[in-house]
Amino acid sequence: MLPPPLAVSRPLVCALQACVVAGLLGLLSLATHTPFLFPALGASAYILIAHPELAAASARNVLGAHLVAAATGWVCFRACGLEAGGTTLVAGGSWHHVASAALALGATTGLLLALRLQHPPACATTLIVALGFLPHAWQVAMVGASALLLLALVRLVRRITPLT
């Protein structure tokens, strides 16, 4: 009689999937000198990998919410008179940074609700952009590309390492 197949726990498989996805996005970031891996994607990856059944895990919600959030954060960043290469909230920042973050979070929340985009990690994206960590207009498109890459990579690793 053959031994039963190796049973791997769901938490371990999900952890390995998250590690692979983050590693691949990180390597792409290093190779291209472009920040395709940024903090909000960690929460998105968790939802996609651990809870793919949630509405927040749909491609429409992930991609749409991150794009809306990045664009809103960038508009608020510029509207508050902030520029790329300037200070950040904790390094010489001012009330402009606070206003940018507050306006971006409020506007993003309203827009996501109005557009019926359910993906809470996007609110971290809007703060990242509004506080100047991704201060260039082209980085809004990069956020969208990152979300698309995340969706594709998670789909790939889930096919390679299915949960049983």
CA 18, 22, 28 angle in degrees (round to 5)?
A: 150
Q: Are 21 and 153 contacting, i.e. CB atoms less than 8 angstroms apart?
A: yes
Mean pLDDT, the chain, whole residue set: 93
- What does the buried/exposed string (b/e) look like for 131-147 if buried means 16 or more CB atoms within 10 Å of the residue's CB? bbbbbeeebbebbbbbb
Quote the pLDDT of residue 47: 98
> Is the pLDDT at 89 greater than 90, yes or no?
no
> CA-CA distance, 78 to 70, in Å (whole number)?
12
The model's pTM is 0.92
The stretch 20-33 carries a mean pLDDT of 98
Domain spans, the chain? 14-160
pLDDT tens for 125-146 read 999 999 999 999 999 999 999 9
> Is the pLDDT at 6 greater than 60, yes or no?
no
Quote the pLDDT of residue 141: 98
The stretch 71-94 carries a mean pLDDT of 88
Confidence band of 88 (pLDDT split at 50, 70, 90): confident
Quote the pLDDT of residue 84: 86
> CA-CA distance, 12 to 9, in Å (whole number)?
5
Return the percentage of the chain with pLDDT > 70, whole number: 94
Quote the pLDDT of residue 5: 56
Encoded tokens for 77:
């960043």
